Structure formats: C-alpha cells, structure tokens
Structure 1
Amino acid sequence: MALLVAIPSLVLTDTSNDAAQMAALIAMVAAVVTFVEYFSEYPTFLEFRNAPPFNRLRFLALFFCVLFASLLMRSAGNPDDASLLKDLSFSAAAVLDIPFSPIRLVTIAFGDLSHLVDISTVARIASVLFAVTVIVLVLFWLHARFIFWPIRKKAFNFWINLPLFDPTSGRDVLFRLKRDAHVNLALGFLLPFLIPALLQWSLGAFDAALLAVPVVVIWILCAWAFLPLTLMMRGIALFRVAALVEEKRRRAYAQDDELQIA
C-alpha cells in the first residue's frame, strides 16, 4: 500500500518537495492501516478480509491503474518516448473514446482545463484504466461463478468478512443482501457517467491550476475507474453470499422435512 501511494511521486520527475512529503505521509498511514486490519484478531471495516482474492484483485487493479496512469502521464511530456504501454493506450482510446462513452465524458469534464491539461493524454489514460477495471471485474466474476468462491478452501465467516453488516437487524438477511447487491451494481454502473458530471460541476469551487497538477489528474482518473469497480465487485460478492445463505436454508428446510416424515 505504501508503494502504491508513492508511485506517482516516484514516476513523475516534476513532483514538488511538498507533494512528495505528503505522499510519503499518506503512504505510511495506508501501510499502518492495512497492517493493523489484516493482523488484528477482530475486524474493523475492511470487507471480505478472509475471502481471497477479493481484496487482492482490488489492490492489483488500483496498483496497475496508478502505475499505468503515472507512466502515461510521464510519457506525455516526452513525445519521443515510445513504449508498448503508450501504443496500447492509443489503441484503447481509438476503441473506447466514442460518443456517450464514459471516456468521452471524462474528456468533456476536463475540456475547461484544456489550456492546462492535454485532453488526448487524459483520454488515453482513462481508456487504459477502464480496460484494466473491466478485465479485473470479469476475472472476479469468473472466479466467483465457477471456482466456488468464497467457500472453496474454508467456510465463510460472516462476521469477519462483513463486519459492517448486521444480519440480526432489519428485515430478512437474504432480502437485505440482495437489495445491497442491486444497489452496489447500479451505482457501480452509473458512477463512470456521474463522476465526470460531478467533476465538471465542481470545477468552479476549486482552483483550476490545482486540478491540472499531474498527480491530481492521476488520482482523479484512478478514483473514476476504481470506485465503480469496487462497487460492482461488492455487488457480485453479496449476490454470491446471498446464494450461499439461500442454499443453506434450502438444505435446512429439506432436512426438517425428512425428520418430520421419519
């Protein structure tokens, strides 16, 4: 986690001393929080802690998003820089940057900053990040659907993996799991379209020069790509947990019927 937070400061050559120090502080905080969460006996807020590869895939997705965005941002200042990632970014932008797509909306959101930010670079970075998140989402869906996640190796502990979800309060737990899954999937689908609109709406509240700083652009684009991925992965995971609960109830009811018949 510390390395992930520090990647933009390490890759970009024009990072100021203040930005580097702030990145180092945030990196240490992220490392400590992650260490305490995973080595504590009692869960706090991190979901699916003992249900790999949920958090591993999320970390890898964010890691590659930050790394690729940083490398592409650095190469944008060097026209002579030729790399496979840069070529792939042009190809991804050619395919994904179409009317009404999330990538096109991102470029429109940064349109007012065209004198400070290279819009073509933003489109290429957004296209690569979108492709990364789609790949990770498909991998997790395949794992959850066909490899018996999260009970392939051990039983699923509801309290440790969903510490913020109280199964004893409110309506039936199965109804609440499916409801939350639908809400997460819907928000995950809508956020790539909503975040650019919110960004453009809030441009007047911030200094445009601040939003045009390369590190800030990187983190805005990574948040635009990663937040929908997290919500959709959580929705898929909750649907899978709901299916496990439903199957366990079905078996319990079948066993009770057999006992009554006997």
Structure 2
Amino acid sequence: MAKMRQPAVNEQDQNGTRPRHRIATDRNEGKGAVISRLTGAVLRAVLVIFMIATPSLMLASTAADTVQIVALVSIVAGVFVFVEYNSSSPSLMEFRDAPPFNRVRFFGLASTILALTVIAKGATEPTTLTVLFEMVGGSLAEAMDFPYSPVRLVVLMLPAEASTNLIENVRTAAGLSYLVSLLSLAFFVLVLRVKNWPNKRGGFNVWINLPTFDPTAGGDVVERLERDGQLNLILGFLLPFLIPALVKLASDMFNPIQLQDSHTLIWTMTAWAFIPASMIMRGIAMLRVAQMIAVQRENAYLRAQDEGGLPA
C-alpha cells in the first residue's frame, strides 16, 4: 500500500503543489515590500511637512497669511515626497534608493531650520535654550566673519542703513547655517568612505537613482558623470560667494530683501547655505558613481582577457 501511495505524492508535486506554495510566498513577500515602501513614504512625507512648518509652529509672531502659505507649501512638498518614494518608478528625486545621500541632506536642512528658528524665537520669548543657541551662534559667526569669507559677504550685502541689530542677526544666521552645511558635507564624505558607497550596496541602479540622467543620450557615460560632478563641485563652491554679490546688485535695481522678518531671514540663510552644500554632495556622489562604473568596466575587460575573448 505504501508503494502505491508514493506515485500519488510525486504526482501532486509534479502537478504544481510546490510551485503554488512558492507563488504564495512570493506574493506575501511582494505585499511586504509594498507595505514597507508605503510606510517609508508616509514617514518621509510627514518629516518633510513638519520641517517646513517648524518656523510657523514655533514663532508666535507668525502672520495668518504666512501660516496659510506655509501650510500649502508643506502639503505640496509632502505629497511630492510621498509620491516619489511610494512609486516603483522614478520621476525627479535623485539617489532615492542610495542612502545616505538624501538622509544627510534632510538632517542638515532640518538642523539649520531648527537652529535658526530657536534663535529667532529668543527675540520675543527668551528661554535658556534660546539664549544658549544665540550665544553659540554668535560666537561661531564672529569666528567665521573674516575678510572675503562667505559670512562677511552676506553681511556686506545689507543696505547701508541697516540697523546694528539686523546686522548681528544676519551674521549669526549666516555663520550658523554655513557651519551646519560644512558639518553636513564633512559627515557625508566620512560616511561615503566608511561605507564604501556605492560599492558596498552590491549594485547601483542608474535609472532609479539618477532619473534625469539619460545614459543613452550620447557620449561616454563615465565622462558625462565626471563632467556633471565637477560642474556641481565648482558651482557649489562658488555660490556662497556669488549669491551675496548678485543680491547686492539686484538690490540696487529692485527692492532689497527684507531680512527683518524672521521667516525671510530663516529661509534665505538656509537656502544660501544648503543649496551649495547640496550641489557639492551631488557632485561627489556622481564622481563616485563614475568611479564605480569605470572599475566595473576594467574588471570586466580583465575577465574577458583571462577567458581569451580579448587580445592582451
């Protein structure tokens, strides 16, 4: 009887019992990946919304119109981040699946906004924390305010009739935001070296992580990545010096930026420090990707030589 039952078991296996089990497992794994991606997208969207809304939530002197504008911008940014990270295909956001690029940028940006908001809050509602931030920020700003420094150029872009209080506030905000951007950049470079990014991840999907870069547009991919990376490095280094000069020239022809408003000061100084640092990070990342592709090409060529497929 046992011998007669054995073919029936084998027949069930051959008819697809085990393949069905594997298909069900794959479906469960697919659902888990979808849930994980959805959760991560929601968390990132919430963090971005709170980051943008931080000045409006913490500053008591925020006008009603400013609150409405910030709420609209926060929602739009949150929806954009959610759609980008929840989608299986890329759209605009670069290095979406290649941490720590976007993580370092987010924490650097959030730290700058939070620090400047705490200092601005101390002007109307002083606390021990706000006084501490103001003292540390003022000391750092004085140390970074030397001739031809970006902080000095930011101070010089102010109009001649600017008050002493405004000059001190701008100097403190510029020095603190620029220092945070430098620390974020240094931490980014350190993480890349320690983790051997992007080689340690085992693969780099150019389509997912560089959606605006077309490898088939013509020319060598490595040369194009190196050229774009070097351009980002140059612009990222020059922008902290060029932006104050451009603002000064524009102020002579148009109405100057009113940095007396706390929100304007926070976002202006944050953008002035964050955009160049972000471009430098992007340039470094693209150079690392170009280096990875060049190494893979060389290894593939050496393997082909060893197998006798190519002449030495």
Runs of 4+ in 1 over 4 A off after TM superposition: 77-82, 208-211
The 1:212/1:116 distance shift into structure 2, 3 A limit, reads farther
Distance 2:59 2:252 in 1: 27
C-alpha deviation, 1:166, in angstroms = 0.7
Q: Which of 273, 286, 294 is the aligned partner of 1:238?
A: 286
The 1:68/1:231 distance shift into structure 2, 3 A limit, reads same
Q: Does 1:223 align with 2:271?
A: yes
C-alpha deviation, 1:261, in angstroms = 7.4
Matched ranges for 1:11-30 at <5 A: 11-30=58-77
The 1:102/1:70 distance shift into structure 2, 3 A limit, reads same
Number of residue pairs aligned between Structure 1 and Structure 2: 262
- 2:67 corresponds to which letter in structure 1? A
- 1:121 corresponds to which letter in structure 2? N
Matched ranges for 1:57-68 at <5 A: 57-68=104-115
The 1:33/1:130 distance shift into structure 2, 3 A limit, reads same
Contact 1:116 1:209 in 2 (8 A): no
- 2:205 corresponds to which letter in structure 1? N
Matched ranges for 1:92-131 at <5 A: 92-112=140-160, 114-115=162-163, 118-131=166-179
Contact 2:137 2:176 in 1 (8 A): yes
Name the residue aligned to 2:135: 87
Corresponding residue SS for 2:303: helix
C-alpha deviation, 1:83, in angstroms = 2.9
Distance 1:214 1:87 in 2: 18
Deviates more, 1:81-90 or 1:121-130: 81-90
Contact 2:198 2:292 in 1 (8 A): no
**Amino-acid identity (%):** 40
Distance 1:210 1:2 in 2: 25
Distance 1:43 1:113 in 2: 49
Deviates more, 1:101-110 or 1:141-150: 141-150
Name the residue aligned to 2:51: 4
Corresponding residue SS for 2:284: helix
| RMSD of Structure 2 on Structure 1 (CA) | 2.0
Distance 1:172 1:185 in 2: 20
Question: Where does structure 2 lack aligned partners over 5 or more consecutive residues?
Answer: 1-47
C-alpha deviation, 1:204, in angstroms = 4.4
Corresponding residue SS for 2:143: helix
Deviations 1:189-221 (A, max 9, x none): 000001111111222455447453221121111
Q: Which of 51, 55, 73 is the aligned partner of 2:102?
A: 55
C-alpha deviation, 1:242, in angstroms = 0.7
RCO greater where, 1 or 2, for CA within 8 Å and sep 6 or more? 1
C-alpha deviation, 1:153, in angstroms = 3.3
Normalising by structure 1, report the TM-score. Answer: 0.93
Distance 1:258 1:239 in 2: 29
Which entry has the higher C-alpha Rg, 1 or 2?
Answer: 2
- 2:279 corresponds to which letter in structure 1? L
Question: Where does structure 1 lack aligned partners over 5 or more consecutive residues?
Answer: none
The 1:5/1:260 distance shift into structure 2, 3 A limit, reads same
- 2:57 corresponds to which letter in structure 1? L
Name the residue aligned to 2:247: 199
Name the residue aligned to 2:238: 190
Normalising by structure 2, report the TM-score. Answer: 0.79
